[in-house]
């Protein structure tokens, strides 16, 4: 019986691959034989991810919120005869922002978060899906957040809205793309200390706030980036062949 977690015949593109969840996801697929394409706007860090994954992993610097940049990326991949069959839309975050009252939020601030957390998922999926349809196979896994199902710990309105929108897009695309054997699923992580932004949020909570956060988790501990990578591996695997349009909360239990 073939190992359902053998990805030696897969080409996996991961956005937001410079650190945190994205790096862990790249490492997990590379360790299981996949051709990994690591993408991020941070050049030095994404190249470091590729180096950690080992020979054969490719790194591209790309702004996924730009239609032109996404188109250029897929043209480059096509020129190298690389056909993406597994897309992990992980790029996101609060782009350096912190919570503030609604009346003080500028449209530029709102748009910056929506661009990377929602528009980027749309653009990357749109670019990848033609090849998946042609091969009658594809896996799209989007990384949202607990904020998309509840409220954001940061208090950032655009972040909660964009992640909720991403979950809606996941469900819609699952129905649209199902006839081509393309599954679309979503992983909704809880709070995990995985990058400089989450470290900043953790520190801002103070010891009392940190303890409250942990006390509200059923397992009474924070997760790690590898927990998210493992959920992604499942959705990409043959064990999830009849699973689509789903949201898997990986948050230690609420």
What is the tens place of the pLDDT at every residue in 96-149? Answer: 778 889 999 999 999 999 999 999 999 999 999 999 999 999 999 999 998 888
Is residue 217 one of the residues assigned to a domain? no
State mean pLDDT over 55-73.
Answer: 97
Sign of torsion over alpha carbons 34, 37, 38, 43: positive
Is residue 252 one of the residues assigned to a domain? no
Give the pLDDT confidence score for residue 65 in this predicted structure: 97
Give the pLDDT confidence score for residue 201 in this predicted structure: 84
Those residues with Cβ within 8 angstroms of residue 168's Cβ, 6 or more apart along the chain or in another chain: none
Is residue 211 one of the residues assigned to a domain? no
Q: What pLDDT band is residue 44 in, cutting at 50, 70 and 90?
A: very high
Q: 85 with 130: CB under 8 angstroms?
A: no
Which run of H or E residues covers position 170?
A: helix 157-177
Select the more confidently predicted residue: 177 or 149. 177
Q: How many domains does the chain have?
A: 1
Is residue 131 one of the residues assigned to a domain? yes
State mean pLDDT over 3-29.
Answer: 96
Of the candidates 86, 102, 197, the one whose C-alpha atom is nearest the C-alpha of residue 137 is: 86
State mean pLDDT over 152-169.
Answer: 92
Is residue 49 one of the residues assigned to a domain? yes
Query: Is residue 221 pLDDT above 90, yes or no?
Result: yes
Least confident range from 58-67, 69-78, 146-155: namely 146-155
> What share of the chain in percent tops pLDDT 70?
100
Query: Is residue 251 pLDDT above 90, yes or no?
Result: yes
How distant is the alpha carbon of residue 67 from its chain centre? Answer: 18
Is residue 210 one of the residues assigned to a domain? no
State mean pLDDT over 8-25.
Answer: 97
State mean pLDDT over 154-178.
Answer: 95
> What share of the chain in percent tops pLDDT 90?
85
Query: Is residue 2 pLDDT above 80, yes or no?
Result: no
Give the pLDDT confidence score for residue 20 in this predicted structure: 95
The domain containing residue 123 runs over which residues?
Answer: 11-195+225-241
Give the pLDDT confidence score for residue 1 in this predicted structure: 60
Give the pLDDT confidence score for residue 147 in this predicted structure: 82
Q: What is the CATH number of the domain that holds 167?
A: 3.40.50.720
State mean pLDDT over 196-220.
Answer: 91
Is residue 168 one of the residues assigned to a domain? yes
Annotated catalytic residues are 159
Is residue 29 one of the residues assigned to a domain? yes
Q: How buried is residue 220: exposed, middle or buried, by Cβ count under 10 Å (0-12/13-18/19+)?
A: exposed
Q: C-alpha dihedral over 215, 218, 221, 222, to 10 degrees? A: -100
Give the pLDDT confidence score for residue 190 in this predicted structure: 92
Mean pLDDT of the chain: 95
């Amino acid at each position: 019986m073939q190992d359902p977690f053998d990805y030696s015949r897969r080409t996996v593109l991961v956005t937001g691959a410079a650190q945190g969840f994205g790096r862990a996801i790249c490492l997990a697929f590379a360790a299981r034989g996949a051709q990994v394409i690591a993408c991020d706007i941070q050049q030095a860090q994404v190249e470091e991810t590729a180096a950690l994954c080992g020979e054969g992993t490719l790194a591209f610097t790309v702004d996924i919120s730009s239609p032109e940049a996404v188109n250029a990326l897929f043209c480059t991949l096509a020129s190298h005869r690389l056909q993406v069959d597994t897309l992990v839309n992980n790029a996101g975050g609060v782009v350096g922002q912190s919570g503030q009252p609604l009346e003080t939020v500028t449209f530029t601030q709102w748009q910056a978060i929506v661009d990377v957390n929602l528009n980027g998922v749309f653009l990357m999926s749109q670019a990848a899906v033609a090849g998946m349809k042609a091969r009658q196979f594809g896996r799209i896994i989007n990384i949202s957040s607990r904020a998309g199902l509840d409220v954001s710990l940061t208090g950032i309105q655009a972040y909660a809205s964009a992640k909720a929108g991403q979950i809606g897009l996941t469900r819609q695309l699952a129905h649209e793309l199902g006839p081509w054997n393309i599954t679309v699923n979503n992983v909704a992580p809880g709070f995990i200390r995985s990058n400089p932004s989450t470290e900043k949020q953790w520190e801002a909570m103070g010891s009392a706030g940190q303890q409250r956060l942990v006390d509200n988790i059923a397992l009474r501990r924070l997760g790690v980036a590898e927990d998210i990578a493992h959920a992604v591996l499942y959705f990409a695997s043959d064990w999830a062949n009849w699973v689509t349009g789903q949201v898997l909360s990986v948050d230690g239990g609420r």
